[in-house]
Amino acid sequence: MNKVKKLIKTIFLIEIAQGMWVTLKTMLTPAVTRQYPKVKRKPFAGSRGLHAMRRDDSGLKERCIGCGLCEAVCPSKAITVVTSEGPEHEKLVNSYELDLLRCVFCGFCIDACPVSAIVMTPEFELACYSRKDAFYTKERLVDVGDRYMGGKAVKK
């Protein structure tokens, strides 16, 4: 009986017909392609993109306290923090530099930051024409933060 079934299957090309049916069905269902530059998907919640620096409660300067934990935890050594002592023995953050060409977007710096000063935005289109454009200083990071938070100091 099985042999007869197999013979019938072979003669009438049943399996090929089944395959043809699958391709026809696929053709009639909408394609899964997204027309990327024209149609952009909403980023997933918690997606890790370009970094941003938040402002402190006064809104005048960055929130970073210069602890250097992000610098220490960064696996690709993309972050450089330079601090000094101010006139009233407070810690000043002289520079906070992020080299996106080194960054692997692991998000460890965000986890390490004790005051949630450095955060990540969902921005992922980071192509640029020169290496300089991929080098983010403190001011540029604060600008990114302003772009995403409207310049407001948002408390966690």
Is residue 14 part of the contact set for another protein (CB under 8 A)?
A: no
Looking at beta carbons only, is 2 or 35 nearer to another protein? 35
Using CA atoms, how far apart are residues 126 and 50, in angstroms rounded to an integer? 8
Q: What is the DSSP letter of 81?
A: E
Smallest distance from the beta carbon of 137 to another protein, in angstroms?
A: 37
Alpha helices by DSSP H, the chain: 2-11, 14-28, 69-73, 108-112, 138-149
Looking at beta carbons only, is 16 or 126 nearer to another protein? 16
Is residue 127 part of the contact set for another protein (CB under 8 A)?
A: no
Smallest distance from the beta carbon of 72 to another protein, in angstroms?
A: 46
Among 2, 3, 4, 23, contact with another protein (rule: CB under 8 A): 23
Q: What part of residues 42-101 is at the interface with another protein (CB under 8 A)?
A: none
Using CA atoms, how far apart are residues 66 and 63, in angstroms rounded to an integer? 9
Q: Which two tokens stand for residue 115?
A: 């005051």
Is residue 22 part of the contact set for another protein (CB under 8 A)?
A: yes
Alpha helices by DSSP H, 12-155: 14-28, 69-73, 108-112, 138-149
Query: Residue 112, class by beta-carbon neighbours within 10 Å (0-12 exposed, 13-18 middle, 19+ buried)?
Result: middle
Among 1, 4, 32, 60, contact with another protein (rule: CB under 8 A): 32
Binding site for another protein (CB under 8 A): 16, 19-20, 22-24, 26-27, 29, 31-33, 35
